Each structure stands twice: as C-alpha cells, then as structure tokens.
Amino acid sequence: MKKDLGVQTAVFPMPVLMIASYDENGKVDVMNAAWGTICGTDKIALCISEGHKTFANIRKSGAFTVSLADTAHVREADYFGIASGNKTDDKFERTGMKAVPSSRVNAPIVEDFPIAMECELCDVVKTEHFHAVIGRIVNVVADEDVQDADGQIDASKLNAICFDPFRHLYYAVGDAVGAAWSCGKELL
C-alpha cells in the first residue's frame, strides 16, 4: 500500500542542462535547467520562464547550446543555477570556464563540459499550462575522450550528473543495467 505525499515534481532522474547563450553585447551567459526534454528526433524543449536572462538572450539571438553538466563541474553547474545573469555582470567569467563561438549557431559552446547540442530557436510555445523554448538541434559536438571506438558517445564516459527534486541533490550516473529495445523482448 502506497502512502500519499501530496503534489511533488516526482520525475527522477532529471538531467542537469547547461544552457549557453549570448546577451545583447555578445557576452556569454549560462543557466542551469532541469526542466527540459528531447521532444522530437531533432528537437529539444526547455521549460524556462520569461524572467530569465537566458530567455531574453535566446529571443534576441535566435540560438543556444545545451551542454550536460558532469561530476568534475558540479560546483560550477550549481552556481549557474543560483546566480542570475540579470544581476551578475560577470556570471560566466567568475567560474574561470572557457567558451568558444559555435560555428553553426549564434551561441557559445562551453569548452569545459564534454558534450553540447547546437540549437536554433524554432518556437516559443505558451499556453495556459505550458511554456517552453523549442530548439532545433543542428549538430552535436563532443570531446574525443567521451566517444567509443566507433565514434559514438559512451554515456558512461560523460560522467553526467542528474538532479534529485525531492531532497535537492545531484547524483552521478551508475552502471549500465540493461539494453533498451532488447532486454524486454522475452516478454513479447
């Protein structure tokens, strides 16, 4: 018998998405968002509110990149979620991280994170119950040392972290426990 816990945002694990954009002066801004998902084979939805500097930046620049936070940069990733680009002029600089311009979209790529999606803004969806920035993923870039021998991303090498919405912790990802579209076949 399960117990009632009231209204909670009980999705776990949540990704720790690092959204990078340029402001109106070409300055790099990065924010931390857990409320985001892939929503198509080349699309990502980020449920970020309109007050964020990042939202204004993306509206103006029409682009952003999304990196995955890793265990080596938990502190920086968390800082990107605490500090506001609206209030802190040198938000990105304080971390000592480096960014380079994407060659495909008008947005920065944070060098220190292992992987990034380069995205073009394709829609801002706003209804009574839902608000999101929708991006078209035009390319993914990644460090060589997170790829396997075939050049595919080896997720275990990303050292990605995830967010726990219950007690507000970051967790590492553990071991592989099964193959998708495969281990359940015996029940077919």
- DSSP character at residue 70: B
Structure tokens at 86: 């609206």
Is 56 an interacting residue with respect to its own copies (CB under 8 A)? no
How many residues bind to its own copies according to rule CB under 8 A?
A: 105
Is 148 an interacting residue with respect to its own copies (CB under 8 A)? yes
Residues 6+ apart with CB under 8 A from 46: 17, 19, 33, 35, 36, 66, 132, 133, 135
Is 134 an interacting residue with respect to its own copies (CB under 8 A)? yes
Please identify, among the stretches 22-30, 53-61, 125-133, the one whose residues bind its own copies according to the rule CB under 8 A.
125-133
One character per residue 59-88, x = contact with its own copies (rule: CB under 8 A) = -------x-x--x--xxxxxxxxxx-----
Among 27, 37, 60, 112, binds its own copies (CB under 8 A): 37
- DSSP character at residue 97: -
Q: Which residues pair with 163 in a beta bridge?
A: 14, 170
Tell which residue, 44, 16, 47, has the closest CA to residue 173.
16
Is 128 an interacting residue with respect to its own copies (CB under 8 A)? yes
Is 149 an interacting residue with respect to its own copies (CB under 8 A)? no
Among 34, 60, 62, 86, binds its own copies (CB under 8 A): 34
What whole-number distance in Å separates Cα of residue 6 and Cα of residue 15? Answer: 23
Nearest approach in angstroms of CB 63 to its own copies is: 15
Is 42 an interacting residue with respect to its own copies (CB under 8 A)? yes
Nearest approach in angstroms of CB 101 to its own copies is: 13
What whole-number distance in Å separates Cα of residue 176 and Cα of residue 181? Answer: 14
Is 19 an interacting residue with respect to its own copies (CB under 8 A)? no
* SS3 (DSSP) at 40: strand
CB 26 within 8 A of CB 61: no
Please identify, among the stretches 20-28, 33-41, 52-60, the one whose residues bind its own copies according to the rule CB under 8 A.
33-41
